[in-house]
Structure 1
Amino acid sequence: MPVDRTAQIFEDLLHHRIAEGTLIKAGQDFVAEIEPATGAVKEQ
């Protein structure tokens, strides 16, 4: 989902706009956190 659309969803639901940079950083952090599981699945 595009970052700008995700920011719009937050604004629509919470009446608060989240900066696109914050969403990008959160996505990067998420990818880093699930890397061990992703790597294990790829090995299988």
Structure 2
Amino acid sequence: MPLMPTLVDKPPEGADWIHEVKFDGYRSQMIIDKQGTRIFTRRGLD
């Protein structure tokens, strides 16, 4: 299950980070790694 987003004062730095996009009513986390690309909802549904 993906980790929950955490509110911070400043976004992380570095090329490995992108910013969360929140569409109306949907919050998701995208993971791109050696296993492929996966998208999860806030409640962990894929």
Q: TM-score, normalised by structure 2?
A: 0.27
- Which one has a bigger Cα radius of gyration? 1
When you count helix as a share of all residues, which structure comes out higher?
A: 1
When you count strand as a share of all residues, which structure comes out higher?
A: 2
